[in-house]
Structure 1
Amino acid sequence: MRLVTTSLLALAIVVGLVTAEAHAADQPNVVILLSDDQRWDDYSFLGHDVIETPNIDRLASQSLVYERGYVPTSLCRPSLASLITGLYPHQNGITGNDPAEDKRTQAGRDVLVNRFQENPRLAEILGQHGYLSFQSGKWWEGNFSTGGFTEGMSHGDVTKGGRHGDVGLTIGRKTMQPVYDFIDKAVAEDKPFFLWYAPMMPHLPHNPPQRLLEKYTQPAGRSVAVARYFAMCDWWDETCGQVLDHLDKKKIADNTVVIYLCDNGWIQLSDKGGGAVGGPRGKRSVYDGGTRTPIMIRYPGHVKPASNKTDLASSIDVVPTILDAVGIKTDYNFPGISLLDQAQVNQREAIFGEIFAHDIPDYRQPELGLHYRWIIDGDYKLIVPSGLDDGEYGPDKLALFHVSEDPEEQHNVIAKHPEIAARLDKKLNAWWNPTVKQ
């Protein structure tokens, strides 16, 4: 099917071409639990032998878990923009965290926020079907209302500290009350709701409660930097438990779709504290340490809990998965699939991603900031550098990894399998070839 442009989608929404299969009162609630800067296997249910995540473990036991989940890009803002638009960064225009020019001014940021609003937005689509929605935590796109949320915490005013969440960043670290109040209001009004819970955790600053830091300072040889990161993962887990417990308290857990994932990876170096950037193979990198995350879907009575260790999933799939779960159809052909549709999952051959510069040279020409494209097909991952990067966040030449046998991507096997690399490169170019005008 031909991909409909975002401008046409906006027109379709305005004229009411988005339709629903069910009345709002019959539809389930939606909660997204979004971790921030956490490596994909830094959970006890995935085998970490130190970090304790009992609440997320419990959620995993109740969910369909895609262990081979990925985000298309390993940096905060473009990862979040992809998650809520259902589009790749090169499609939605949000490829980095800041504009290259006027990055700290309201006018400079408004240019990107205006571009963001041309895209489909999950909260807006749900809102057209009677959903209340609430933004809390990380939010880069100005005021919460630009995402289509009916309520939220972030104002987006640069003169008052607006950039990536402002007031919203108090959620989890300082208070949970705004989330509780929103859920209570939606329940009292008998309205379906969408909760965006994206606290800046375990993201820097790594300043966990002393009780948790003490828990991870042993053995004596463990660095304080690592202990602080471990404790932050534990603290994040606690807050997830508080959200899930409140759903239980209000007796709405069985009618709520919960999605769990992380925006990008992180590797905590033992000699780095507050100045760490997530390690050379973590945040911002093209490697799995930056792009991989478990993706979980809990919907009691509708989605059978299972651990899927083989099929590939992407955060690009979250929007179509949620719309499928709540029974909403749109005229937009999102590039992702519903992870609840086993036929679509079985038919998928590959997933794709792209890594860009931190600052966006020109949102109208995403290729100007492109560092890498990547594809995973089966057990193999091909990384294609653009030539713009110096190798800090990935290889400086074509690289093929057998990620099932070599999850840390230490052995480039392209010389052994040039035919596999050629096949994957052809698929990658069919997905997006920046040298060809779209």
Structure 2
Amino acid sequence: MILETVGILFVFILLIYPFFLCGSFFYSGFWLKLKRKFMRPNIIFSMCDDQRHDCMSCADHQFIATPNLDRLAEEGIRFTNGFTGIPLCAPSRATHLTGLYPHQHGVVHNRAQLKTEVDTWPELLQKAGYRTGFFGKIHYSTTTQPSGMPQAGFDRWVSFQGQGEYNDPTLIIDGESIRHQGYNTDLLADYANKFIMNEDERPWAICVWFKAPHGPFTPPSRYADSYADIELDLPKAFNASTIGKPLSLRTRKPMGHEHGWYPDGTFIRDKYWDQFMRDYVRTIQGVDDAMGSFLNTLDQNGLTENTMVIHTSDHGYFHGEFGLADKRWMYDPSIRIPYLIRYPNLVQSVGKSIDDLVLSLDIPATIMDFCGLGVPNNYQGYSLRPLLVKDGKWNRQNVFIEYFEDPPFPDLPSMLCLRTQTRKLIRYLRSGEGDEFYDLDQDPEERHNVINEPNYAEQVEDLQRQLDSAKLRYNFAKPESIR
């Protein structure tokens, strides 16, 4: 019996020996696929500040040219129904690093701090052997580090305090403040590319979080005159009636007046809107250039196949809808975000647009999943693997979004939003505001609040139940610091 077994093994070895010699056995399609499946990807997580979901040419913007973001969409997947978990800068950034809603991680407004017991996914990747870097705007602070200073979980740190500056900025390099010459977006891209090209065998993960296109909307000089001759179309709901909107919106102060962005204290005058729109998209062109540099660096260094590239924004931005600038409110221009992912190793259905509801909280979960660590039990988003790899079903029926009163803007109330593919409920946490319900099929611009119309009573009640269920699911409790 033993001799028979040895004979069979001998014949088997003779048969496969030629494959060993030529290498085809190990480098066949099967083994390449197997290798790819278990390789830990590199990560580029690119994020804008205030970029709307529709401000890319691949999203059919009126005139902006974003060839590199378009390339990302063509070689990956564009999610057309991406939403932020909170339409405010610092809380959203903390959410993108922790996978938690603000009521869980503690950064409930732009002056709040991250809870000490909360880990970020870069910390977890770093402990798992990743080389990690942060380049850009962090905005929030911790109990041990002010805004802009190095935070736990990063081997390389390039940031700035608060909003920073567009031109000749002071950047904080691993804790040291250094004045630079150049444009903020370009400088961040240069630092990030150097990190990518570092000859280190470890997998790496970087966040490149741009200041652009945040106010004061200063474009790179090379684009200062772009689109000067284009006649701009006003948004359909530009300066639309606020009848049916909450009391605080109808009596608000114009956003942007406190920064001097609009000299007479208002945003909605045509002379300011026209200049704002051109400069806003010009700053995004600078980000598109940065994305192009990342993609070229990956190509030139043989890193394209095994690098997941993500591009999104912390939230959207109003372009004059209902006379609004800024974000914060729960209307779609504020809460919808660009959402692009490319990962050639495993994402095969490239060039697709997917309209399933996805959240900013899904990005940390997706990163942790694909990097082989698994999604932490406390994460409140879901890995996008079923949509990216398996062409599978996505069972999310709604998205839950929260906003808490920010001290510099006490006239904006805390609010919650429950949005489905076709309906939206907005609930205010301050009495006297008046809640809102929108039929997005019939009213995509959210002009008509139908919460008190009898024909919608059952639908309103249904979304009220869904919102209450979401509060339980996400362990929602109004933070004690919020009135």
TM-score (normalised: structure 2): 0.71
Q: CA deviation at 1:249?
A: 1.7
The answer as to whether partners of 2:319 and 2:325 remain within 8 angstroms in 1 is no
1:309 Cα offset (Å): 4.2
Q: Which residue of 1 aligns with 2:134?
A: 135
Rounded to whole Å, the distance in 1 between the matches of 2:467 and 2:85 is 13
Aligned counterpart, 2:402 = 354
Counterpart in 1 of 2:217?
206
Match of 1:237 in 2: 288
Give the aligned partner of residue 331 of structure 2: 287
Partner of 2:430: 387
- 2:167 paired with 1:167: no
CA contact (8 A) 2:218 2:279 kept: yes
What's 2:460 paired with? 421
1:255-404 equivalences in 2 (<5 Å): 255-269=306-320, 280=324, 282-303=326-347, 304-329=349-374, 331-342=376-387, 346-359=394-407, 371-387=414-430, 396-404=433-441
Is the alpha carbon distance of 1:322 and 1:360 closer, same or farther for their aligned partners in structure 2, counting shifts above 3 Å?
farther
Contact persistence 2:137–2:162 (CA under 8 A): no
User: Is the Cα contact below 8 Å between 1:83 and 1:316 reproduced in 2?
Assistant: yes
Of the three residues 256, 280, 298, the one matched with 1:247 is: 298
Q: 167-176 or 212-221, which moves further after superposition?
A: 167-176
Shift of 1:316: 0.6
Distance between the aligned counterparts of 1:281 and 1:288, measured in 2? Answer: 13
Task: Give the superposition deviation at 1:217.
Answer: 1.3
Q: Is the 8 A contact 1:337 1:345 kept in 2?
A: no
Q: Contact 2:68–2:289 at 8 Å: present in 1 too?
A: yes
Q: Secondary structure at the match of 2:122?
A: helix
User: Which position in structure 2 is the counterpart of 1:38?
Assistant: 51
Change (3 A) 1:127 1:338: same
Displacement after TM superposition at 1:206 (Å): 1.8
SS in 1 for 2:193: helix
Aligned: 1:176 with 2:175? no
Amino acid at match of 1:432: K
Aligned partner letter, 1:346: W
Structure 1 stretch 349-358 or stretch 202-211: which is displaced more? 202-211
The Cα offsets for residues 178-207 of structure 1, whole Å up to 9 and x where unpaired, read as 11221112xx11110011001101112322
Structure 1, 80-89 or 172-181: larger mean CA deviation? 172-181
Give the 3 Å change call, closer, same or farther, for CA 380–176 of structure 1 in structure 2. same
Supply the AA of the counterpart residue of 2:226: K
| Alpha-carbon distance in 2 for matches of 1:87, 1:384 | 21
Q: Which amino acid aligns with 1:200?
A: K
Match of 1:410 among 434, 438, 447: 447
Give CA deviations for 1:135-157 in whole Å, capped at 9, x if unaligned: 111112346642411211137xx
Counterparts in 2 of 1:220 and 1:421: CA distance versus 1, 3 Å: closer
Give me the whole-angstrom Cα distance separating, in 1, the residues matched to 2:275 and 2:301.
39
8 Å Cα contact 1:39-1:292 kept in structure 2 = yes
**What is residue 7 of structure 2 aligned with on the other side?**
none
- State the identity as a percent: 29
Matching residue's letter, 1:261: T
Equivalent residue, structure 2, for 1:151: 156
User: Contact (CA 8 Å) 2:163, 2:211: kept in 1 or not?
Assistant: no
**Offset at residue 346 of structure 1 (A):** 2.2
Measure how far apart 1:164 and its partner are: 5.3
Measured in 2, the distance between the counterparts of 1:279 and 1:39 equals 16
Any idea what SS the aligned residue of 1:242 has?
helix
| Aligned-partner Cα distance in 2 for 1:34–1:210 | 22
- Give the deviation of 1:404 after TM superposition: 4.3
Which ranges of 4 or more aligned residues in structure 1 deviate by more than 6 Å? 435-438
Give the match's secondary structure for 1:216.
coil
3-state SS, counterpart of residue 353 of structure 1:
strand
State the distance in 2 between where 1:321 and 1:241 align: 23
Q: CA RMSD in A?
A: 3.1
Q: Is the 8 A contact 2:136 2:188 kept in 1?
A: no
Residue 9 of structure 2 corresponds to none
Q: Which amino acid in 2 is paired with 1:296?
A: L
2:254 — aligned with what?
Answer: none
Q: How many residues align?
A: 375
Change (3 A) 1:261 1:147: farther
Q: Which ranges of structure 2 fall in alignment gaps of 5 or more residues?
A: 1-34, 165-169, 173-179, 233-270
Q: Which residue of 2 aligns with 1:158?
A: none
Contact 1:354 1:370 in 2 (8 A): no
Asked if 1:54 corresponds to 2:86, the answer is: no
